[in-house]
Chain A
Amino acid sequence: MLGKSFSTIAFNPDKCNGCNECMTACAWVKTGTSEPAHSRIHVVPGEIEKSWGLALCRQCGTPRCVMVCPSKALTKNTETGVIEWDDNRCVNCGLCTLGCVYAGITYNSLSEHVIKCDLCGGDPACVKACEPRALEFLQGADIYNAWGDLEDLFVPGISACLGCNSELLIRHTLRRIGPNTVVATPPGCIAGVGAVGVNGLTATKTPVFHPLLTNTAAMLAGAKRYYNRIGRDVTMLAFAGDGGAADVGFQSLSGAAERGEQMIFICVDNEGYMNTGVQRSSTTPFGAWTSTTPVGSVLRGKTRDAKPLAIIMMMHNCEYVATASLAFMEDYYRKLDKAVRASEKGMAFIHVFSPCPTGWRFAPGKLIEISRKAVETNLVPLWEYDNSRRKLRFTHSIEKPLPVESYLNLVGKYRHLDEEQIERIQKRADERIELLKSFIDDEEIIRNELAS
């Protein structure tokens, strides 16, 4: 059981509207009635209006219900993580209800035995019934379980700042894409943390090289054409910062995209020149403090909006374009798989949101929370564009976003913002979503409407 991750139901109380459809769905699936007493999931009204809490089995790692069961009627399934209840062994003593502090297993007086969630065998009815998507079925655990089967292609140890997502990004990406890859890392944090190696030794088990800030895409294009000529099938992969992609690196990237060069180009966007003294870049958002967009009596951070690089790449008719945030690893893995396939035909571009504890001023432990909140506020919407259909698709719901403050308040570079600036950031975020929506597949919209 140790070291294994499992799929789980997550509850986002901010999105819950108290409709109780989850309870009806659960009761229906389990008993064929809509009697809420039969539901294994319970939504309870909160202390303030329109707030809700949840009582549901957490499928604990060290389940106390299992430990206090005198007849071994409860066991944790080490394959699925589900705590399973065996009616035949249960003696109806009720001690499990005393062992659980979340009301995850409860005594049902109608059926005269205890009831608990079994995750519906991996396809929970409550999640499907949750219109506002307050319930989510997280299956990212599969990634971490398969992690050990994939070869680690990067040196142990990395010289990144504490709390940087570069190690998470490099190790996952290389393990997934595999060893048959040539990696390019232009000047920037990824090269700076040791990716290109030290003293003539490389840090990857794949060939890796260090192009100029300006010519990453051009060099990879040349290498790929050479391999094509000699008949070897090799994946080309770039890890470039926003400088090497959106600023001075843009002309070679734009050119390669236009020519349809076969590669995966990953922009590791930390919204500025973080390893050279925190200067602004063209992807630094409006209002952000940097050392060149200071906060004083006149200036209040950056006065211009960020360049929407991913949208610009979509307009290049790349084979595949996607945005990603590593708080949503399963989403990133799906996009990597598509990018690998797309790179056989042409350019696959992935824009990875990469918060920087050092330059953005936040505590190292906050990385994932910030990566998640940026998505949930719609400041970093997750989407993908597939050139074969020439349509865009959101991969994380953009409905009912959190207010932008719930992200901005977590990040030190926005500490000085006044109301007017926040209002503008909110307005721009909303406008960006409207713009993206105009690229959505109409059929997808109809499908979503039918589903709800």
Chain B
Amino acid sequence: MKMIKHEDKIMPKCPYLIIGSSHAGLAAVDAIRMRDSDGSIILISKDKCLPYSPTVLPYVVSGEADPEEVFLRDETYFQTSGVTFMRGCEVKSLDVEAKKVILDSGEEVAYEKALVASGASPKLPPIPSLESTPYHVLRTIEDALRIRAASANKPSAIILGGGLIGMHAAENLAKAGLEVTVVEMQPQILPGYFDAQAASMIHKVFADRGVRILTGHAVTHVTASNSACAVSLENGLDLSGHLLLVATGVEPNTGFVKPNEIELDQGILVDDRMRSSASGVWAAGDVAQASSFRGSERVLNGILPDAVDQGWTAGMDMVEDPAFIPYRGGIPTNTYTFFRNHAFSVGITSLQAEGEEFQVDLMVSSSGLRYQKLVYQDELLVGASAINANLDPGILSEMILSRVSLEKVKTRFAREPLDTGRLIMSSLWR
């Protein structure tokens, strides 16, 4: 057990300060508590409510999740865990020299070790007239409730962005009876997770249910008109809708970080211990720009499982856990359920941009909606994506990240990826 002396009587110093209370911050708290059962932890959240996950918000919009029942920790947890939860507090600045943060209330909190897990905010596209038009984003629980309320009495919606948030929202709004149009600048929906073929299969499911998806078009202009808005595309097409949702990606919340004190690029640059360039400051989750599993560049990998891994890594390093394992680097990965279909994607799924040699096993069912693509680089699995295929995404992901050699089982793996993957993980257990 690490002992921390609390000798500073002038301003109480918190051994662990964590900015942000979603998955990365909470994973760090758990990792710290594995080693240090009573060192005081302060968890600061901008939100006025208990901790929650942005990933659950599309389900709050749809009503599948009760907004009162989405919280990741309850009040009892904070009463018994020695974690002080400061909710509704926004960090205005982080002073790495004095080792303190200043809150919007003017209050100062000193720390010994700080983790920045402040997440990300919606990134707005550079459309000049957007600011003068009413629009929705989906990042906080208030956003979700606002969209939910608005969708109840609006006949149509336009969604900018065909990523996961945009597509989830499109499905939910369509189910709520709205006429929905999705505008995506890339030539396909869900870029980065699915290749063009898989994306077009998903696209068709939406089209069959009356959702209009326009890909390969940038928006040039948006205007408000009474209770509706008008959207103009670069190809001259004009759309109008009663609800505008902007879901064109996110950008890290780094406003309180001074660039001359902490190395910033798109996000806070961190090493494989999640340490930033400033002593005593770690970063994890959507705000961190960490190593990529492939290649030497550091990337933003704003997905939930990675936030957990990064938060856990940071927490272990902060508490000096002897069992520390460095971060292995991120791969794009996600699961996606749409209109009762089940899809996932792990690692490399689209081969165009890579410029390396890959081998592919592709299985597409012409009858039902079924798609399965396994991507190899020699004896290693490097990517997998599927729609309605019976596979274990967690196993495939681990096989990629721990570079399990398929040398001896490649034929069988190609034939029976489910059983072979399970067998490999069964033998690796313990």
Binding site for B on A (CB under 8 A): 2, 42, 44-47, 53-55, 58, 62, 64, 67-68, 70-72, 88-89, 91-95, 97-103, 106-107, 109, 112
Interface residues of B in 243-266 (CB under 8 A from A): none
Contact B69 A99 (CB under 8 A): no
Nearest CB of chain B from residue A120's CB, rounded to whole Å: 21
Q: What are 6 sample pairs from A and B whose C-beta atoms fall under 8 A apart?
A: A44-B423, A62-B34, A91-B65, A98-B333, A102-B426, A103-B395
CA distance A72 to B59 in the complex (A): 13
Bound form: Cα–Cα A62–B34 in Å: 9
Q: B409–A47 contact, CB under 8 A?
A: yes
Task: Determine if B398 is an interface residue (Cβ-Cβ < 8 Å).
Answer: yes
Across-interface contacts of A53 in B (CB, < 8 A): 422-423, 426-427
CA distance in complex: A45, B344 (Å)? 25
**B289 contacts chain A at the CB level, 8 A cutoff:** no
Of B337, B390, B395, B422, which contacts A92 at CB under 8 A? Answer: B337
Q: Given the complex of chains A and B, what is the CA–CA distance between A93 and B229 in angstroms?
A: 32
Q: Give, as a whole number of angstroms, the nearest-CB distance from B338 to chain A.
A: 11
Q: Which residue of B lies closest to A108 (CB)?
A: B390
Residue from A47, A98, A102 in contact with B335 in the complex, judged by beta carbons closer than 8 Å: A98
Asked whether, in the complex, the Cβ of A70 is within 8 Å of the Cβ of B342, the reply is no
Tell me the minimal C-beta distance from B314 to chain A in angstroms.
14
Contact partner of A44 (CB less than 8 A), chosen from B27, B337, B419, is: B419
The CA-CA distance from A112 to B341 in the complex, in Å, is 9
Chain B residue numbers with a CB within 8 Å of A99 are 305, 308, 394
The chain A residue sitting closest to B389, CB to CB, is A109
Q: Which of A88, A94, A101 is B342 in contact with, Cβ under 8 Å? A: A94
Tell whether B129 is near chain A: CB-to-CB under 8 Å: no
Contact pick for B305, options A45, A71, A95, A102, CB 8 Å: A95
Given contacts A67-B30, A103-B395, contact A95 B304 (CB under 8 A): yes
Choose from A46, A67, A72 the contact partner of B423 (Cβ within 8 Å). Answer: A46
Residue B113 CB within 8 A of the other chain: no
Q: Which of B373-429 contact A (CB under 8 A)?
A: 388, 390, 392-395, 397-398, 408-409, 412, 419-423, 425-427, 429
At the interface, is chain A mostly helix, strand, loop or mixed?
A: loop
For A106, what are the chain B residues with a Cβ–Cβ distance below 8 Å? 392
Known: A67-B27, A103-B422. Is A98-B394 also a contact (CB below 8 A)? yes
Given A44-B423, A67-B30, A97–B340 Cβ distance below 8 Å?
no
Which A residues touch B64, using CB under 8 A? 91-92
Check if A98 sits within 8 Å of B334, measured CB to CB. Answer: yes
Which of A45, A71, A106 counts the most B-chain CB atoms under 10 A from its CB? A71
Which of B27, B333, B336, B425 contacts A102 (CB under 8 A)?
Answer: B425
- Would you call B70 an interface residue if the criterion is a C-beta within 8 Å of the partner chain's C-beta atoms? yes
- Residue of A58, A70, A107 contacting most chain B CB atoms (<10 Å): A70
Contacts of B59 in A (CB 8 A): 71, 91, 93
Q: Chain B: interface residue count, which band? A: 35 or more
Docked complex Cα distance between A305 and B12 (Å): 71
Given A99-B394, A109-B342: A44 and B422 interface contact (C-beta under 8 Å): yes
Query: Whole-angstrom distance from the CB of B33 to the nearest CB of chain A?
Result: 8
B37 within 8 A of A: yes
Given known pairs A97-B394, A109-B388, the reply for A102 and B429 (CB within 8 Å) is yes
Interface pair B308/A68, CB less than 8 Å apart = yes
Q: Give Cα distance in the complex from A342 to B427, angstroms.
A: 44
A-facing residues in B44-69 (Cβ within 8 Å): 53-56, 59, 64-65, 69
> Given the complex, which residues of A lie within 8 Å of B422, measured CB to CB?
42, 44, 53, 55, 102-103
The smallest beta-carbon distance between A67 and chain B, in angstroms, is: 5
Contact A71 B56 (CB under 8 A): yes
Q: Please determine whether A89 and B390 come into contact, CB atoms closer than 8 angstroms.
A: no
Is the CB–CB distance between A103 and B425 below 8 Å? yes
Contact at B337–A93, with CB atoms within 8 Å?
A: yes
**B72 CB within 8 Å of chain A:** yes
User: For A44, what are the chain B residues with a Cβ–Cβ distance below 8 Å?
Assistant: 419-420, 422-423, 426
In the bound complex, residues from chain B placing their C-beta under 8 Å from that of A42 are: 422
Question: Chain B residue with minimal CB distance to A91?
Answer: B59
- With A47-B409, A95-B305, A101-B398 already in contact, the answer to whether A2 and B426 are too (CB < 8 A) is no
Bound complex: CA of A383 vs CA of B33, how far in Å? 43
Q: Is B71 an interface residue (CB 8 A)?
A: yes
Residue in chain A with minimal CB distance to B31: A62
Q: Is B275 an interface residue (CB 8 A)?
A: no
Known contacts A47-B408, A70-B53; A109/B390 CB under 8 A: yes
A99 to B308, CA, bound (A): 10
Per-position binary interface string of chain B over residues 318-342, scored 1 when its CB falls under 8 Å from any chain A CB and 0 otherwise: 0000000000000001111100101
Q: Shortest distance in angstroms between B279's beta carbon and chain A's nearest beta carbon?
A: 28
Q: Is B23 an interface residue (CB 8 A)?
A: yes
When the two chains form the complex, which single residue of B30, B53, B69, B397 contacts A98, counting CB atoms closer than 8 Å?
B397
In the complex the two chains form, what is the Cα distance from A112 to B333 in whole Å?
21
With A72-B70, A102-B426 as contacts: A64 and B395 at CB distance below 8 Å: no
Chain B residues with CB under 8 Å of A58's CB are 429
